[in-house]
Amino acid sequence: MKFNSLIPELTVDDIERTKDFYVNKLGFKIEYERPENKFAFLSLYENQIMFEQANGHWSVGELEHPYGRGINFEMAVPDAEEMYKRILDKGIRPFRELMEKRYRNGDEYIIQHEFLIQDPDGYLLRFAD
CA 87 to CA 10: how far, in whole Å? Answer: 21
pTM: 0.92
9-54+71-128 belongs to CATH 3.10.180.10: yes
pLDDT in tens, 67-105: 888 899 999 999 999 999 999 999 999 999 999 999 999
- At residue 46 the predicted structure's pLDDT band, cuts being 50, 70 and 90, is very high
pLDDT in tens, 22-43: 999 999 999 999 999 999 999 9
Domains of the chain by residue range: 9-54+71-128
For the cut 80, the answer to whether the pLDDT of residue 57 exceeds it is no
Q: How confident is the model at residue 64, as a pLDDT?
A: 83
Per DSSP, the three-state class of 64 is: coil
Q: How confident is the model at residue 24, as a pLDDT?
A: 96
CA 44 to CA 54: how far, in whole Å? Answer: 23
